[in-house]
Amino acid sequence: MSLLKVTDLVVSYGGIEALKGIDFEVEQGQIVTLIGANGAGKSTTLRTISGLVKAADGRVYFEGRDITDYDTQKIVETGIAMVPEGRRVFPNLTVLENLRIGAYLRKDKDVIEEDIEYVYDLFPRLRERSWQLAGTLSGGEQQMLAVGRAMMTRPKLIMMDEPSLGLAPLVVKDIFRIIRTLKDTGMTVLLIEQNANAALHTCDYAYVMETGRITMRGTGEELLASEAIQEAYLGKKSQ
Amino acid sequence: MFQTIFPYLLTGISVGGQYALIAIGYTMVYGILRLINFAHGDVFMVAGILMVYIVASGAPLYVSIPVVLILTALIGFVIERVAYKPLRSAPRMSIMISAIGVSYTLQNLVLYITGGLNQFYPKIPFISDSVTIFGATTKMVTVITPILTIVLVVALVLLINHTKIGMAMRAVSKDFETSQLMGIKINNVISVTFVIGSFLAGVGSILYFSNYTTVIQTSGAMPGLKAFVAAVFGGIGSIPGAVVGAFIIGICESIIKGLDVILMKAGLTKQMLGLATFSDAFTFALLIVILIAKPTGLFGEKITDKV
């Protein structure tokens, strides 16, 4: 049984269908990526899974449970965390508070402290800046914080919306290293990326989205080898 | 000179404290919903009316004061749930109109119950007693107000900076959606904000009406407006700003009310000039000057966001 299963998901905004019935699955312990151009419906997909947007049709199953009608709070409790597009750390809270607010629903105080230490070990830069307001961090540090904050919910699945957007190439490398580290710790990751090249090299399985539909699917290697993908997303001309 | 000014200063600090307790409600609600809650001044007035009726029913003060505070907090909670929550995703202008509607509903309701007659506010022993400090005779409430205000403000700031609900309030004030992704129930946090704001307005009403002795359905309008000005003056959304703004406005207003006497005693004028008439106009003139010099108010939000 897959960890996350989406069947025939339809979402419309004011009469326009942003998702026209998509199906995909995320296996436990894998990095799965959705790639595609702007407006393909990638963000809408994540926002629907996390309950921020309501589906018009279709179902979302998590660990076999139908979570389509859950509200966002319950979905977080169920074990799905999101690293939103543009980081969205709380600029008026300190780094430490941003991590603590990730654990908002948790009652296990001692374990929370351990988890904060764990995040700090993973991102030593955040430990140095523990008392700084998150708004003063650099883009890359904010991204680390957003990932750390999501980890604090103790999720089974982390969804990331364009984590490399607007970051310097060196920092982007860092971010993908972090994503692989998450996988090594046993985490399942659903990743949305415009940087198709990096995403396909990192992922176990990938789906290609175009205007609200999934048009291709396969392992990272398969899609990297596909001529259609090379032409459309990797900027290579076919001979 | 000091002997002449001191009583006005004292009154000003006291009035400022009362404005501060109302202003916090405006500034907190604005901070979280970006809404000017026009009904807030009327909640303050209703708290006064509740006190009149509950004491008249024969309840002793040690019962009626807590009951009034609880009911006032409850009214704030109900107003938010009934009039603002259904409009959460509506344009801000709609919620503002809803707030004006609530304001008049409360006023009309009180008019209906009281028949538009001035209600005499019950005398609360101890805080209505007279006291003399530095040769100035005043009511005990004048001395208690600033102390109680500071204590409540410190407690509130501690709550916001050092508790879980306070952290959630700060998060929600910045970003609804991401707060939801942390599992925070936005509506609960907003309700807590209204409950705190209304509770403080309730405390303010006890202090204010103990001083002014009568309540009528329009009693909330002027103090509400002044407190709103204080909140904008201090930088709306900022609690310390609202408190400092309220004290400045209270003191300035009181000194202008006494300006004639002060000038005459200082030998600068030979007759009363009637300057006291301008005390309300002065409040607004001060606001305009501040907003020209510093559009975000004294403690306006610092921008720390980095894109």
Nearest to B180 among A52, A102, A138 (CB): A52
What integer pLDDT is reported at residue B302 of this predicted model?
Answer: 55
Task: Judge whether B306 lies within some domain.
Answer: no
What integer pLDDT is reported at residue B49 of this predicted model?
Answer: 97
* Shortest CA gap B164–chain A (Å): 8
Q: Is the pLDDT score of B271 beyond 70?
A: yes
Among B167, B173, B181, most A C-beta atoms within 10 A, so best to mutate, is: B181
Q: Is the pLDDT score of A97 beyond 90?
A: yes
What integer pLDDT is reported at residue B129 of this predicted model?
Answer: 81
B303: pLDDT confidence band, cut at 50, 70 and 90?
very low
Nearest to A136 among B171, B174, B306 (CB): B306
Q: Taking CB atoms and an 8 Å limit, are B167 and A101 in contact across chains?
A: yes
Q: Taking CB atoms and an 8 Å limit, are A88 and B173 in contact across chains?
A: no
Q: Is the pLDDT score of A238 beyond 70?
A: no
Higher pLDDT, B141 or B193: B193
What integer pLDDT is reported at residue B306 of this predicted model?
Answer: 37
B168: pLDDT confidence band, cut at 50, 70 and 90?
very high
Task: Judge whether B301 lies within some domain.
Answer: no
Q: Is the pLDDT score of A161 beyond 80?
A: yes
- Taking CA–CA distances from A75, the nearest residue in chain B reads B183
Domain containing residue B163: CATH number: 1.10.3470
Greatest pairwise CA separation for chain A in angstroms: 60
Nearest to B306 among A50, A90, A135 (CB): A135
Q: Is the pLDDT score of B2 beyond 80?
A: no
Task: Judge whether B177 lies within some domain.
Answer: yes
Percent of chain B scoring above 90 in pLDDT = 71
Percent of chain B scoring above 70 in pLDDT = 98
Higher pLDDT, B70 or A196: B70
What integer pLDDT is reported at residue A100 of this predicted model?
Answer: 97
Average pLDDT over residues A180-197: 92
Q: Report pLDDT digits (tens) over A31-74.
A: 999 998 888 999 999 999 999 999 999 999 999 999 999 999 99
Q: Is the pLDDT score of B182 beyond 50?
A: yes
Task: Judge whether A32 lies within some domain.
Answer: yes
Nearest to B167 among A77, A100, A137 (CB): A100
Q: Is the pLDDT score of A239 beyond 70?
A: no
Task: Judge whether A238 lies within some domain.
Answer: no
Domain assignment of residue B171, given as a range: 2-293
Q: Taking CB atoms and an 8 Å limit, are A100 and B185 in contact across chains?
A: no
Task: Judge whether B302 lies within some domain.
Answer: no
Chain B residues closer than 8 Å to A52 by CB: 177, 180-181
Nearest to A84 among B170, B181, B185 (CB): B181
Chain B residues closer than 8 Å to A72 by CB: 180-181, 183
B263: pLDDT confidence band, cut at 50, 70 and 90?
confident
Task: Judge whether A85 lies within some domain.
Answer: yes
What integer pLDDT is reported at residue B212 of this predicted model?
Answer: 87
A72 touches chain B (CB under 8 A): yes
Among A90, A137, A147, most B C-beta atoms within 10 A, so best to mutate, is: A90
Average pLDDT over residues B101-115: 96
- Taking CA–CA distances from A146, the nearest residue in chain B reads B178
Q: Taking CB atoms and an 8 Å limit, are B182 and A153 in contact across chains?
A: yes
The size of the A-B interface in CB pairs under 8 A is 69
Q: Is the pLDDT score of A208 beyond 90?
A: yes
The domain tally of chain B equals 1
Q: Which residues, listed in sequence order, are joined to residue B137 by a DSSP beta bridge?
A: B132
What integer pLDDT is reported at residue B136 of this predicted model?
Answer: 77
Domain containing residue A18: CATH number: 3.40.50.300
Mean pLDDT over each residue of chain A, to the nearest integer = 93
Token readout for A10 is: 């339809």
Q: Report pLDDT digits (tens) over B140-167.
A: 888 899 999 999 999 999 999 999 999 9
A130: pLDDT confidence band, cut at 50, 70 and 90?
very high
Q: Report pLDDT digits (tens) over B225-238.
A: 999 999 999 998 89
Task: Judge whether B300 lies within some domain.
Answer: no
Three-state SS string over chain A comes to CCCEEEEEEEEEECCEEEEEEEEEEECCCCEEEEEECCCCCHHHHHHHHCCCCCCCEEEEEECCEECCCCCHHHHHHHCEEEECCCCCCCCCCEHHHHHHHHCCCCCCHHHHHHHHHHHHHHCHHHHHCCCCEHHHCCHHHHHHHHHHHHHCCCCCEEEEECCCCCCCHHHHHHHHHHHHHHHHCCCEEEEEECCHHHHHHHCCEEEEEECCEEEEEEEHHHHHHCHHHHHHHCCCCCC
B71: pLDDT confidence band, cut at 50, 70 and 90?
very high
Domain assignment of residue A216, given as a range: 4-233
Which three-class secondary structure state does DSSP give residue B119?
strand
Q: Taking CB atoms and an 8 Å limit, are A104 and B304 in contact across chains?
A: no
- Taking CA–CA distances from A82, the nearest residue in chain B reads B181
What integer pLDDT is reported at residue A237 of this predicted model?
Answer: 61
The domain tally of chain A equals 1
> Who contacts B122 (Cβ-Cβ below 8 Å, separation ≥6)?
B51, B52, B55, B56, B61, B64
Higher pLDDT, B278 or B167: B167
Task: Judge whether A194 lies within some domain.
Answer: yes
What integer pLDDT is reported at residue B145 of this predicted model?
Answer: 94
B276: pLDDT confidence band, cut at 50, 70 and 90?
confident
Q: Is the pLDDT score of A216 beyond 70?
A: yes
- Tell me which residues of chain A, numbers 137 to 176, contact chain B at a CB-CB cutoff of 8 Å: 137-139, 142, 149, 153, 166
Percent of chain A scoring above 90 in pLDDT = 81
What integer pLDDT is reported at residue B213 of this predicted model?
Answer: 87
B266: pLDDT confidence band, cut at 50, 70 and 90?
confident
Task: Judge whether B305 lies within some domain.
Answer: no
Chain A residues closer than 8 Å to B304 by CB: 91-92, 133, 135-136
Chain B residues closer than 8 Å to A79 by CB: none
Task: Judge whether A239 lies within some domain.
Answer: no
Average pLDDT over residues B108-130: 91
Task: Judge whether B304 lies within some domain.
Answer: no
Average pLDDT over residues B24-39: 94
Q: Is the pLDDT score of A93 beyond 80?
A: yes
Q: Is the pLDDT score of A78 beyond 50?
A: yes
A13 touches chain B (CB under 8 A): no
Average pLDDT over residues A97-117: 95
Start-end of H helices in chain B = 2-33, 40-56, 61-79, 92-114, 140-162, 164-174, 176-181, 186-212, 221-234, 239-257, 259-265, 279-293
